[in-house]
Amino acid sequence: MKAQHAFDRLVSRDFQEASSEDVKSVALAVWHENFVPDVSQLDARSARAANYLLDRLMRYNCVTPEEQKKLLDVVNLLSRQFRIGKTTVMPHDRKVDKYARKWGLKSDLKLMLRAMLPYQTRHYRHT
């Protein structure tokens, strides 16, 4: 439940306002607890943010192929529901990471996710 609330807060605001605790909670849940968020209440703007967040988190090697498939199913569902297409990534705009640009966002979580390096291993034990 904690991860779902953190996920909802993250995708409903601009990422510049994101809490590092919310990022950590969602990342750990996705990476180590098989968390797949409930996205049934999202609007179009939040769906873009959710797609970015899930697209980014599912790429880490601590996510099993089975979990990646579940997360990709959520991304595809939101993309169809809100007709969200991946945008052309402009290489000259390096202020925002390519995954955020791909989903049409102007802010990202790259600095906060870099700080999550110690948790990005399959051997991490969540306490």
Q: 6-50: per-residue pLDDT in tens?
A: 999 999 999 999 999 999 999 999 999 999 999 999 999 999 999
> How would residue 84 be classed by pLDDT, with cut points 50, 70 and 90?
confident
Distances (CA, A) of 8 to 54, 89, 121: 12, 26, 25
- Tell me what pLDDT residue 111 has: 93
Question: CB count, 10 Å around CB of 109?
Answer: 27
**58-72 as b/e: b if 16+ CB within 10 A:** bebebbeeebeebbe
Return the minimum-mean-pLDDT range out of 40-44, 83-87, 117-121. Answer: 83-87
Task: Count how many Cα atoms sit within 13 Å of the Cα of residue 121 in the half-sphere of its side chain.
Answer: 5
pLDDT in tens, 90-107: 665 678 988 998 898 999
Joined tokens for residue 5: 């609330």
Answer yes or no: is pLDDT of 68 > 90: yes
Q: How far apart are CA 31 and CA 59, in angstroms?
A: 10
